[in-house]
């Protein structure tokens, strides 16, 4: 059993129907948001929902006063479809590599390698996070897949090497157990 500390913006129960982001709360209301009393963070979440075969396409847009980064959506802004997976092999051969998923709502979840073969790498969330998803990297496909208990899958693809020991993959599609999929470009 290993423990990974909870990162800032920790998302205990990611929702695959919101591309891994936490479903919006009353605090994130688009016209009357309220700051988090503990941190003072103001997070706003307007949504677009379109009916689709299998499962509806729900895109949430986020603004957070705690996010100090520039994205393609603007400064401190993001969208639920803006999920990313950062793979970091800290100390090859000594420590297990870590994959950190950053959700479109700025929440993060870390995973550590639990099993590795020539074809696949399996990552498990640490026991102290309450997260019930696992991640698998398929070497031939160059894709990371996050598996949910519901059978839904988030797929992060086209990893780009940032440095020798880090690579970044973007959310490219969501799949349901029946094979329906939504693809993001």
How far is Cα of residue 151 from the mean position of the Cα atoms in its chain?
16
Overall average pLDDT of the 92-104 stretch: 82
Q: Which of helix, strand or coil describes residue 17?
A: helix
Per-residue model confidence (pLDDT) at position 3: 46
pLDDT digits (tens, 9 = 90+) for 10-30: 445 666 766 667 666 776 666
Name every residue whose Cβ is closer than 8 Å to that of residue 71 and which is 6 or more positions away in sequence.
Answer: 77, 78, 82
Per-residue model confidence (pLDDT) at position 146: 95
Overall average pLDDT of the 82-102 stretch: 84
CA distances from 52 to 15, 17, 49, 82, 83 (A): 17, 12, 9, 20, 21
Reported confidence tier of residue 144, pLDDT bands at 50, 70, 90? very high
Per-residue model confidence (pLDDT) at position 128: 65
pLDDT digits (tens, 9 = 90+) for 57-82: 888 888 888 888 888 888 888 888 99
Per-residue model confidence (pLDDT) at position 141: 94
Strand partners of residue 169: 85
Mean of all residue pLDDT scores within the chain: 82
Extended strands (E) in the chain: 43-44, 47-50, 57-64, 70-71, 74-75, 77-79, 84-88, 98-102, 108-116, 120-125, 134-138, 143-147, 153-163, 166-175, 181-183
Per-residue model confidence (pLDDT) at position 8: 45
In this prediction the pTM is: 0.78
Per-residue model confidence (pLDDT) at position 99: 92
Overall average pLDDT of the 124-138 stretch: 83
Top pLDDT among 87 and 24 is at 87
């Amino acid at each position: 059993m290993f423990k990974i500390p909870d990162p800032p913006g920790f998302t205990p129960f990611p929702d695959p129907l919101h591309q891994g982001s936490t479903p919006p709360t009353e605090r994130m209301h688009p016209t009357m948001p309220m700051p988090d009393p503990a941190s003072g963070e103001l997070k706003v979440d307007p949504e677009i929902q379109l009916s689709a075969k299998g499962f509806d396409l729900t895109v949430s847009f986020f603004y957070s006063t705690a996010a100090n980064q520039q994205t393609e959506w603007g400064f401190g802004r993001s969208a639920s479809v803006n999920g990313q997976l950062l793979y970091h092999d800290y100390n090859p051969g000594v420590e297990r590599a870590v994959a950190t998923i950053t959700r479109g709502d700025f929440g993060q979840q870390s995973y550590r390698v639990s099993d590795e073969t020539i074809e696949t790498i399996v990552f498990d969330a640490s026991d102290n996070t309450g997260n019930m998803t696992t991640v698998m990297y398929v070497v031939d496909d160059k894709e990371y897949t996050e598996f949910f208990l519901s059978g839904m899958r988030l797929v992060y693809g086209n990893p780009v090497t940032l440095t020798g020991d880090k690579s970044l993959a973007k959310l490219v599609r969501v799949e349901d157990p029946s094979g329906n999929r939504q693809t993001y470009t």
